[in-house]
Amino acid sequence: MVLAAKIATGFVAVSHVWFLILEMFLWTTAFGARTFKRPPEEMAATARLAMNQGLYNGFLAAGLAWGLYTGARDVQLFFLGCVIVAGVFGAITVSRAIFFLQALPAIIATALVWFSRPT
Residue 108 has a CB neighbour count (10 Å cut-off) of: 17
Output the pLDDT for position 1.
86
**How far is Cα 47 from Cα 67, in angstroms, rounded to an integer?**
30
**How far is Cα 94 from Cα 89, in angstroms, rounded to an integer?**
8
Q: What is the pTM of this model?
A: 0.92
Output the pLDDT for position 117.
74
Output the pLDDT for position 118.
66
**How far is Cα 109 from Cα 3, in angstroms, rounded to an integer?**
11
Based on the number of CB atoms within 10 Å of its own CB, is 94 exposed (0-12), middle (13-18) or buried (19 or more)?
Answer: exposed
Query: Do residues 28 and 48 touch, judged by C-beta distance below 8 A?
Result: no
Query: Do residues 41 and 85 touch, judged by C-beta distance below 8 A?
Result: no
Output the pLDDT for position 119.
53
Q: Mind listing the pLDDT tens digit of every residue in the chain (119 residues)?
A: 899 999 999 999 999 999 999 999 999 999 999 999 999 999 999 999 999 999 999 999 999 999 999 999 999 999 999 999 999 999 999 999 999 999 999 999 999 999 997 65
